[in-house]
A and B are shown apart, each in its own frame.
Chain A
Amino acid sequence: MYEVKKLVKKFDKVKVLKEIDLDIKEGEKIVIIGPSGSGKSTLLRCLGRLEIPTSGKIYFNNKDITKINNTHEIGMVFQSFNLFENLTVLENITLAPIKTKLLSKQEAIKKAREYLKQIKLEDKENNYPADLSGGQKQRVAIIRALMTNPKVILFDEPTSALDREMIEEVLNLMEDVAKEGMTMIVVTHELNFASNFATKIIFMDEGKILESGSPKELFNNPKTERLKEFLKG
């Protein structure tokens, strides 16, 4: 699904990503971990077309990602939710599929209500984001991303802005999405979640992928000093 070749991203003169190579197959659940500033968000934003690579290539289903125009095939969920503040919950979820003509208005509303029911927020469809708790906002953001039938969803620290008691509900929803077979790439500090959820863990440090493998391999047998330190916390 994704082929990343020698990806370099510089901000001004600073190399934030240093020749990253990465292959991601359909259905994989990738979790990216690493210390602050190691380039996790930057990598994810490159995969989500929000940053333009300085050099190197990213192919998405064999197409050069910089040559794809508007696409709904790569969904994204952000730490700060980024719901549309001026729209109700229902409008938030249905805006994109309707305006991009993916679904008719009736179809979109029907599908949206099914999702809202699934996350038990069906009575909030006419509320504005300001009325929701953080956990509710993030769950709405996740089903908003699902509405456009993406092939992959990228999550950048989806629970970092949430209070402890709300983290669970978001992680549970992510697990439900995973069960449907969605390809997911998740940056998170929730290592317990990661070890159950991930098919593959990627450990980043200073703009490079230092180690990658199954949760067992990485958590039980870290090879590099950096990962050992990181896991100690």
Chain B
Amino acid sequence: MNFFNNIGDSFYKSFIYDDRYLYFLEGIKNTLIIAFFAVLIGIFLGMIISLIKDYNKEKNKLKILTKICDFYVYVIRGTPVLLQLMILYYVVFKTVDIPIVLVGVLTFGLNSAAYVSEIIRSGILSIGNGQKEAAKTLGLSYFQTMRYVIFPQVLQNMLPALGNEFITLLKDTSVAGYIGIVELLKASDIVSSRTYDYFFPLIVSALIYLFFTFLLVRFMRMLERKLNHVRS
């Protein structure tokens, strides 16, 4: 009886008392906002970076821009995301009045772009030159070829790798708490530092992360199936 009493008590303290569940809701909201918009930035910017690099390889143009992209990817992949977050918050936006969640969105978006660009680039390479060359002899431009022939295949082939990247991103947003963003893990931290009881906040956070990664996995599978269906 005592055991159940304790559990009930602990649950009450962690979520109900003082409306503490609101922290978790705030945490979920911020985690999802950061992850969602970071993915969008990551895909958009990652695609542009990989296009610049491929265009450079193909036409031997845009040399300086390509160097910048190479350097960018090198720096992002060579430093911890937490450090990137801190530099953006404590250095770049130090004197700028900007919502802190936006700093999170930017950091994770810019970070993800580097990884996504590498995924897309290896996807372009794996398709080989044959279809590009055929397109060229048919009079299609570089961009028409990328848009109608190469990118659709890259997307299909790279879907599993992109899915992994997004799952990693979702989990990595948990370091955003370091600069004071109330994301999910930070929310759980705030609550347990009041109650000195870590069990429920941590377990519930874990379950929430699992739930979202589960949804993401299902979503990616559905996309894969849809795209595969088109082909066969």
Contact = CB atoms under 8 A, between A and B. Distances in A.
B48 interface: no
A147 B137 CA distance: 12
Interface in B197-232: 230-232
A220 interface: no
A130 B231 contact: yes
B138 interface: yes
B230 to A, nearest CB: 8
Given A84-B131, A87-B149, A96 B138 contact: yes
A78 B140 contact: no
Contact of A74 (B137, B152, B156): B137
B140 A70 contact: yes
Contacts of B144: 99-100
B135 interface: yes
A75 B137 contact: yes
Interface in B140-165: 140-141, 144, 148-149, 152-153, 156
B148 A71 contact: no
Contact of A48 (B137, B139, B141, B148): B137
A135 B230 CA distance: 23
Interface string A56-84: 00000000000000111011101010111
B131 A71 contact: no
Interface residues of A, number: 30
Contacts of B148: 84, 87, 95, 99
B139 A76 contact: no
B71 to A, nearest CB: 27
B137 A145 contact: yes
B130 interface: yes
Interface string A131-166: 100000000010011011000000000000000000
A2 to B, nearest CB: 15
Q: What size tier do the contact residues of chain B reach?
A: 20 to 34
Contact of A70 (B139, B230, B232): B139
A36 interface: no
A96 B130 CA distance: 16
A45 to B, nearest CB: 8
Overall SS of chain B's interface: helix
A100 B140 contact: yes
Interface string A78-111: 1010111111000000011001101000000000
B154 to A, nearest CB: 10
Given A86-B149, A128-B231, A50 B133 contact: yes
A99 B144 CA distance: 8
A82 B131 contact: yes
Interface in B99-152: 130-131, 133-141, 144, 148-149, 152
Contacts of B139: 70-72, 96, 100, 102, 148
A145 B138 contact: yes
A124 interface: no
Given A82-B130, A86-B156, A128 B232 contact: yes
A36 to B, nearest CB: 20
Contacts of A128: 231-232
A102 B138 CA distance: 11
A104 to B, nearest CB: 16
Contacts of A5: none
A49 interface: yes
Nearest to B155: A86
Given A70-B141, A100-B140, A130 B232 contact: yes
A70 B144 CA distance: 12
Given A82-B130, A128-B232, A72 B138 contact: yes
A128 B228 CA distance: 12
Q: Which 7 pairs across A and B sit closest by C-beta, in order of nearness?
A: A72-B139, A96-B138, A82-B134, A76-B137, A82-B130, A86-B152, A100-B139
Interface of B: 130-131, 133-141, 144, 148-149, 152-153, 156, 230-232
5 contacts: A78-B130, A84-B134, A96-B138, A99-B140, A130-B231
